[in-house]
Amino acid sequence: RCVEALYIYFRAERVEEPYVSITKKRQMPKDGYSEEIEKEVGQAEGKLRTHRSAFSRASVIQAFLGSAPQLTLQLYICVLQQEVTVARSIFMVLSLLSIVYGALRCNILAIKIKYDDYDVRVKPAAYLCIFMWRSFEIATRVAVLVLFGSVLRIWVFLIVLLNFLGFFFYPWILFWLSKSPFPENIEKELSRLGTTIVLCLLTFLYAGINMFCWSAAQVELSDPDLISKSQNWYRMTVYYIVRLMENAFLLLMWYIYRTDFYLYVCAPMLFLQLLIGYCMGIFFMLVFYQFCHPCKKLFSSSITEALLSCFKILYFICQHQKSTLLKGKVVMKSPENTDEAQGSSKTIDSQNRSIHQSVSSNA
């Protein structure tokens, strides 16, 4: 495939195309208006685009099903041996860069699929924000899993299994709730069994990505393209809140059950560094979606507005719980108060009667 792509690239402008196809793309809105642009695409350019899309998907698969487990294993070995060799550090850096590149390609693919009708141009600032976002997110996630697994080896398998199964079955649960027909247009030559296997492999990759970072391409089996084209800020917000809480819990368990192996490590400082590192990844993610996203003009609402609305919902829930607790306390105290009021009223009536009797007797 690589040799074929290079051959097509070097022969693209030397051989005249017998015929070309015309594509129509819309520009990003400027002052509320967007123009539609027609562009001629030759056979060579079309084939190169197909190869580039295939390479992008292959890089995502290789990153999260190959490099991510390799980085986790190498870091775990370094922690157990208390030694980081030059060769192993080089391999870990290359694995991390491979994962970050795969996550970056996943982001770009998701943008181009969601906004296929528009001419999307990603600026260098956007690439830089995505790179920093994914680097902090993936590096801290791998470090947290390795530290937790080094002290609680059996429980880490349960955490990984629950995460993986949850993300694997989540698209299928949504598909079952939507009551949509089974997708038949993935590949004409595939049978129903083959289509099911392909969908299972797709959700397997989706679960593998979400184990380490947020998957920009959200799988939606009811959609013909199998990818959700709606920007669901609430799902992303819930994911990062839950993931931050999970990382904090795993680090807390590591801090509590750490052994004498970590005597020469400043555990509180490492705890804070990993949490701050994950928060830095979230910060660069917010910067990307708020300022550097190539299609931010098409958003119906910004991510900051979604975060504010989520915090408002949480605030109202907390206030509602407080009000219900206060009402419960008032209800519990009201019978006692009524009994005291009745007793006090009885004593006042008896005093009034005694005074009235004494006055009448004196009279």
What's the pLDDT tens digit per position in 230-281? 777 888 888 999 999 999 999 999 998 887 777 777 888 989 999 999 999 9
Hey, what are 101's tokens?
A: 């590149």
Q: What is the pLDDT of residue 138?
A: 94
What are 33's strand-pairing partners?
A: 30
Average pLDDT of the residues of the chain: 78
Instruction: Tell me if 225 sits within 8 A of 113, measured CB to CB.
Output: yes
Query: What is the C-alpha separation between 92 and 297, in angstroms, rounded?
Result: 38
Residue 338 has pLDDT above 50, yes or no: no
171: in domain: yes
List helix spans (H) across 18-123: 43-62, 68-81, 86-114
Residue 196 sits in which domain range? Answer: 1-320
2: in domain: yes
Total domain count for the chain? 1
353: in domain: no
359: in domain: no
327: in domain: no
Pick the closest to residue 285 from 137, 133, 140 (CA basis).
133
Q: What is the pLDDT of residue 355?
A: 42
Mean pLDDT of 168-174: 92
Mean pLDDT of 116-144: 90
Instruction: Tell me if 83 sits within 8 A of 50, measured CB to CB.
Output: no
Element (H, E) at 347: helix 303-362
Q: What is the pLDDT of residue 125?
A: 92
Length of the chain: 363
Q: What is the pLDDT of residues 72-128, one digit of tens each?
A: 999 998 888 888 888 888 999 999 999 999 899 888 888 888 887 777 888 899 999
> What Cα–Cα distance (Å) separates residue 178 from each residue in 172, 222, 229, 235, 259?
10, 8, 16, 17, 49
The confidence band for 320, taking pLDDT boundaries of 50, 70 and 90, is confident
> Which is more confident, 40 or 57?
57
What are 25's strand-pairing partners?
A: 37
What Rg value do the Cα atoms of the chain yield, rounded? 31
Backbone angles phi, psi at 110, to 5 degrees: -65, -40
Backbone angles phi, psi at 41, to 5 degrees: -120, 120
Hey, what are 352's tokens?
A: 């009034």
Mean pLDDT of 199-228: 86
Q: What is the pLDDT of residue 341?
A: 45
The residues near 335 (Cβ < 8 Å, ≥ 6 apart) are: none
334: in domain: no
Q: Measured in whole angstroms, how far is the alpha carbon of residue 190 from the centre of its chain?
A: 32
- Residue whose pair of structure tokens reads 């600032």 in the numeric block: 125
Task: Give helix then strand counts, H and E, for the chain.
Answer: 10, 2
> Which is more confident, 329 or 154?
154
342: in domain: no
Query: What is the C-alpha separation between 205 and 201, in angstroms, rounded?
Result: 6
3-state class (DSSP) for residue 118 = strand
Query: What is the C-alpha separation between 296 and 305, in angstroms, rounded?
Result: 13
- Residue whose pair of structure tokens reads 């419960």 in the numeric block: 328
Instruction: Tell me if 255 sits within 8 A of 272, measured CB to CB.
Output: no
159: in domain: yes
